[in-house]
Amino acid sequence: MFKGFRDFVLRGNVVDLAVAVVIGAAFGQVVDGFIAAFIDPLIAILLGGAGEELASIVFGNFPIGLFLSALVTFLLKAAVVYFFIVRPFGDLAAKYAPRPEPTDDVKLLTEIRDLQRQQVAALQRDERK
């Protein structure tokens, strides 16, 4: 019974997921702080303080302003995460990712290409003489 539980807990996916949840919760506070410190004041400047009025819009008995406010907040958080975290780290990962060793076919084709370039360069030198 404990062996199955131990195997489940020690699988890489479970540990990675647990770390992601904890880090995600902590990072959520960082994103909230960024939005509160930089994005919200910018919106207040652009809209002239109309941001608080957005949540107070009521359509019939439905507080549609709350939904719109939550939607705007979600889009802002998603944009901050994408443009300041996902994209830069994706670029870094692509830059430093190990390149796979070329296959024998690719090596052979590279040699043929290089030989052809040498032959063309030699022919161009001969034509100039």
Q: 13-53 pLDDT, tens per residue?
A: 666 676 677 777 777 777 777 777 777 777 677 766 655 56
Query: 79 and 119, same structural domain?
Result: no
Question: 26 lies in which domain range?
Answer: 2-97
Query: 86 and 70, same structural domain?
Result: yes
Query: 39 and 9, same structural domain?
Result: yes
pTM value is 0.45
Query: 128 and 74, same structural domain?
Result: no
Distances from the Cα of 44 to the Cαs of 53, 63, 73, 83, 113, in angstroms?
A: 11, 22, 14, 21, 60
The answer to whether 57 and 68 have CB atoms below 8 angstroms apart is: yes
Query: 93 and 108, same structural domain?
Result: no
Give dist(CA 44, CA 35) in Å, integer: 12
pLDDT of res. 64: 67
Query: 83 and 62, same structural domain?
Result: yes
Distances from the Cα of 71 to the Cαs of 15, 66, 94, in angstroms?
A: 31, 8, 32
Query: 61 and 24, same structural domain?
Result: yes
The domain total for the chain is 2
Segment 64-117, tens digit of pLDDT: 666 677 777 778 777 877 888 778 877 877 787 778 888 999 999 999 999 999
Query: 93 and 117, same structural domain?
Result: no
